Amino acid sequence: MSDFPRAQKLAALFAVTAVVVLTLIFVNVNEPDAEVAVPTPTVDPNATPTAVPILSQQRIPWSAIAAEIRGAADTVAPVPCPFIDERDRQDNNFLSLTPSLTFVCDVPGLEATPIAPGRVVMRVTQAPLNSEKAAIVANGKDGPWVRAAAYGTFVVIDHGSLNGVRNATSVYAGLDSISADLRVGQLVDTSTPLGRIGRLMINGELVEGVLPFELLTDDTRFGADPLRANPPPASAGAELAALLADRVRLPVTTCNLPFGNPELNVGAPREYRSGTHNGLDFNCGTTNHDIVAAADGEVLFVVDDFTEPTPEDRDVVLANAALAVDTPFWTLAMLYGRFVVIAHHLPDGTPGSDDRIVTLYAHMSEIDPNIVTGRQVSAGTVIGQVGNTGTSTAANGILDGHPSVHLHWELHVNDRPVGYLSDPSETEPLYRQMLCDVAPATPDAATTPSASDPRC
């Protein structure tokens, strides 16, 4: 282990983080749209990195840390380079058990490869951390979707059961590009190129060939949910619904509402999705229906380049996921297809203002090009069109004019859906209260049904 003094190490890592964030803010300050693939370097990218202090730190070999990480034995490193172990800075994070390693290669162009055989469950092309994303991260309201936005371009591999652990999932972030033929659902092994690793400002120098890497096992939030063993009281959902009534509106106003059908509500049994349905399904049948933001907020995360798995690959991924009890986070996200996540905040000083509130809009056929991470939206802002991406029907090539075309919509408070672990007969009244008792429309809002809307 490193004999670097802990306080000094933490201070150094914090300084690195601050430099990275501040540098990227500076680099991107004139480019508010998250469309820029690579930040303009502040130093000559072809220059050989010189004295980068953090590179002189003592490092642990991959084999040693792999043995230390539950479920990761018999793996290989994702790139043949030394790494910085950043777990120490995770202590205020619900991912505190997630190893977060930064591999530093110093040379451009290397390919990341999987640490073990598995299936691709997520491949997302997005701009690196820019000023808007950095501001979100700096707000301190961390969560899986903020984290996903900060990954930049990334690939996720579901390894299934590994060495007695029910599920292991690995994340390869900050990529320069993803291998062109890498598909969702694809079987990969330790020789499959995932993509070229990117670059990062470290201690004020742009270092080529850096790979932020994470390993998620069922020890973490992303695996078996500790709340299942210790569920919230039944009153929790009612309290949240009362808090959010008058603040949330229907996310789609031209499709069938789920009310009256327990199968379409939160808490309905599902073979996957952790065994229960975490959202509401609005059946549309065709893709020509607008989806709108359910409340004022800011876009946290967007998956707009989803590629459908083959039906066979999809089945294998889901069969493996069924062994994990709780569907692993990113494998579940694979089922969302093309999707958007928006963060909402209750007014400062009011109850719930410290809660992490997000809405999620899944299976979209199209996403409005203005909907990018960091963008502010109003209740009623059109974010895209309904679809069936991520469903088995879409995997079979049918993308419109089918009962599978629907909006799957989720409302989470602190990373769990309102009504979590409740029966659909108990959750439906909560969502009726929130969605049908609608606040007055804002000037730029879409047409909103009133509380007397017969569909409610």
**Which residues are near Zn ion by CB under 5 A?**
279, 281, 408
Shortest distance (Å) from residue 416 CB to Zn ion:
16
> Residue number with the shortest CB distance to Zn ion?
408
Output helix, strand, coil percentages for the chain, rounded to the nearest 5.
25, 25, 55
Q: Which is nearer to Zn ion, 253 or 404 (CB)?
A: 404
Q: Which is nearer to Zn ion, 408 or 412 (CB)?
A: 408
Cα 96 to its chain centre, rounded Å, is 17
Residue among 313, 348, 352, 350 at smallest CA distance from 334: 313
Shortest distance (Å) from residue 164 CB to Zn ion:
32
Q: Classify the C-alpha dihedral 146-204-50-208 as positive or negative.
A: positive
Shortest distance (Å) from residue 409 CB to Zn ion:
8
352 vs 361: CA distance, rounded Å: 22
Cα 235 to its chain centre, rounded Å, is 28
Helix/strand/coil for 7: helix
Shortest distance (Å) from residue 281 CB to Zn ion:
4
Q: Which is nearer to Zn ion, 217 or 391 (CB)?
A: 391
Q: Which is nearer to Zn ion, 321 or 372 (CB)?
A: 321
Q: Which is nearer to Zn ion, 144 or 279 (CB)?
A: 279
Q: Which is nearer to Zn ion, 90 or 283 (CB)?
A: 283
What is the DSSP code (8-state) at residue 180? T
| Rama region for 246: left / alpha / beta (φ>0; ψ in -120 to 50; rest) | left
* Residue 43, both tokens: 């130093």
Shortest distance (Å) from residue 101 CB to Zn ion:
35
Cα 59 to its chain centre, rounded Å, is 30
Task: Write out 332-379 in H/E/C secondary structure.
Answer: HHHCCCCEEEEEECCCCCCCCCCCCEEEEEECCCEECCCCCCCCEECC
Shortest distance (Å) from residue 268 CB to Zn ion:
8
Shortest distance (Å) from residue 166 CB to Zn ion:
24
Q: Which is nearer to Zn ion, 176 or 281 (CB)?
A: 281
Angle at CA of residue 372, ends 173 and 145, nearest 5°: 50
Beta bridge partners of 382: 292
Shortest distance (Å) from residue 428 CB to Zn ion:
14
Q: Which is nearer to Zn ion, 214 or 281 (CB)?
A: 281
